[in-house]
């Protein structure tokens, strides 16, 4: 059984456990994880791309003819494909897929991110089908990573490390945001990253010049490998930090160590945040964002979310961020963020770049 087939079986088992007859998955990370294919983002009426996965029975793809010619359907674990011409009405293909699956009149699970127009299309095309939010199914589906996924994330984190090394070389007062940002991205690409994005102080690659004394937030979460995004961050200080900045940085490192020490299989996700927030509070600061979140094929945060109220157990093989810190000024965070993988005894940071304070 190949990896995609194993994933389909896992999804079926989780759906059955939740009392669902099947799942309906539209374009996005879960679609890619379950099919091995990347559908163009968006939903109906732009286009409809969906995987229909019955608990019992064969899965089906409902995609445009354009997507059918982009996807490698010969190697696909999903053999039933229902197509429509891009820009035309997909209802015949959608209705036929539900009829073949036996899911008409059944309750099927959907992600929270389902586009409203897609839900409306389902209601008009197969009115007897009942949709149910299946966040518990999808939260668990991709949260534990296999060896191949962890390797992609390890390579993404290594590319981030290369970006930080270049940041120390190019960041200086007088250098423009665009000049420094493009050099950091270039270093990541040379190290194997597959994306052109950068965040933190580089949301917009403008001609603004960095100033003496500025605290630069080098946040590299968009950098990816094989579609998998690590999420890491470091600060670079353009000149000697103030005593308060040093104090906050030291508190952040202490909170990082406290959060990492709390990680082990079986504990609740919120307990890691609690450990971090307690350390920050003890130093006189407030942790105003969740200390961590899962990473993977998603464009932003995904399960597990290390936040108050999340009592889900941490499992070996989960990969998430540890990101303590606080704002020293408006839109100026001091933080240290690594991507870590949960091991049998604790966790391993996928980043190797130093967490010590960096002044240029």
29: CATH: 3.40.350.10
Confidence at 343, pLDDT banded by 50, 70, 90: very high
Residues above pLDDT 70, as percent of the chain: 100
Tell me what pLDDT residue 2 has: 82
Output 77 or 9, whichever has higher pLDDT.
9
Cβ contacts of residue 31 below 8 Å, gap of 6+? Answer: 25, 37, 39, 49, 50, 51
87 with 153, same domain?
no
341 with 237, same domain?
yes
Cβ contacts of residue 116 below 8 Å, gap of 6+? Answer: none
25 with 152, same domain?
no
Q: Are strands 338-342 and 319-322 parallel, antiparallel or unpaired?
A: antiparallel
Ramachandran assignment for 325, one of left (phi > 0), alpha (psi -120 to 50 degrees), beta (any other): left
32 with 87, same domain?
yes
The pLDDT tens digits for 254-302 are 999 999 999 999 999 999 999 999 999 999 999 999 999 999 999 879 9
Pick from 141, 173, 199: which residue ends a domain? 141
Q: Is residue 171 part of a domain?
A: no
CA–CA distance, 150 with 295 (Å, rounded to integer): 10
Q: What's this model's pTM, rounded to 2 decimal places?
A: 0.94
54 with 125, same domain?
yes
Tell me what pLDDT residue 308 has: 97
57 with 15, same domain?
yes
What's the mean pLDDT in 152-172?
A: 97
- How many structural domains is the chain composed of? 2
Q: What is the CATH number of the domain that holds 268?
A: 3.90.230.10
- Cβ atoms < 10 Å from Cβ of 242: 13
CA–CA distance, 289 with 286 (Å, rounded to integer): 9
Domain range enclosing 102: 3-141
Which backbone phi and psi does 8 adopt, to 5 degrees? -60, -40
134 with 255, same domain?
no
121 with 234, same domain?
no
134 with 151, same domain?
no
125 with 253, same domain?
no
CA–CA distance, 192 with 169 (Å, rounded to integer): 19
CA–CA distance, 310 with 268 (Å, rounded to integer): 7
Has residue 211 got a pLDDT over 70?
A: yes
45 within 8 A of 117, measured Cβ to Cβ: yes
Confidence at 1, pLDDT banded by 50, 70, 90: low
Q: Is residue 169 part of a domain?
A: no
Q: Is residue 193 part of a domain?
A: no
Tell me what pLDDT residue 124 has: 96
243 with 137, same domain?
no
Scored b (16 or more CB within 10 A) or e, 266-286 reads eebbbbbbbbbbebbeeeebe
The pLDDT tens digits for 45-84 are 988 999 999 999 999 999 999 999 999 998 888 999 999 9
Has residue 6 got a pLDDT over 80?
A: yes
What's the mean pLDDT in 235-250?
A: 98
225 with 256, same domain?
yes
The pLDDT tens digits for 181-200 are 999 999 999 999 998 889 99
């Amino acid at each position: 059984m190949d990896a995609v087939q194993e994933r389909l079986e896992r999804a079926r088992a989780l759906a059955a456990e939740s009392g669902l007859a099947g799942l309906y998955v539209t374009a996005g990370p879960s679609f890619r994880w379950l099919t091995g294919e990347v559908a163009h983002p968006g939903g109906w009426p732009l286009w409809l791309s969906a995987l229909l996965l019955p608990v019992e029975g064969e899965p089906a793809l409902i995609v445009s003819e354009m997507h059918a010619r982009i996807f490698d359907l010969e190697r696909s674990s999903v053999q039933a494909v229902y197509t429509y011409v891009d820009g035309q009405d997909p209802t015949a293909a959608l209705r036929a897929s539900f009829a073949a699956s036996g899911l008409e009149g059944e309750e099927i699970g959907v992600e929270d991110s389902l586009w409203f127009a897609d839900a409306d299309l389902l209601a008009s095309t197969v009115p007897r089908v009942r949709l149910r939010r299946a966040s518990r199914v999808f939260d668990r589906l991709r949260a534990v990573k296999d060896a191949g996924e962890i390797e992609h994330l390890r390579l993404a984190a290594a590319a981030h490390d290369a970006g930080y090394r270049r940041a120390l070389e190019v960041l200086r007062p007088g250098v423009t945001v665009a000049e420094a940002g493009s050099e950091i991205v270039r270093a990541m690409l040379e190290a194997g990253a597959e994306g052109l994005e950068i965040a933190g102080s580089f949301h917009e690659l403008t001609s603004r010049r960095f100033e003496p004394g500025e605290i630069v937030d080098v946040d590299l979460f968009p950098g990816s490998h094989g579609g998998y995004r690590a999420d890491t961050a470091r600060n670079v200080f353009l000149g000697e930090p103030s005593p308060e900045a040093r104090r906050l940085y030291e508190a952040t490192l202490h909170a990082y160590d406290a959060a990492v020490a709390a990680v082990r299989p079986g504990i609740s996700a919120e307990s890691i945040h609690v450990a971090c927030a307690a350390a920050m509070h003890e130093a006189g600061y407030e942790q105003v964002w969740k200390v961590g979140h899962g990473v993977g094929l998603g464009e932003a945060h995904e399960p597990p979310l290390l936040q108050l109220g999340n009592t889900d157990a941490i499992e070996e093989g989960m990969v998430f961020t540890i990101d303590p810190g606080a704002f020293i000024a408006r839109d100026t965070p001091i933080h240290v963020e690594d991507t870590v993988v949960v091991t049998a005894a604790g966790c391993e940071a996928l980043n190797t770049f130093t967490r010590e304070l960096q002044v240029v």
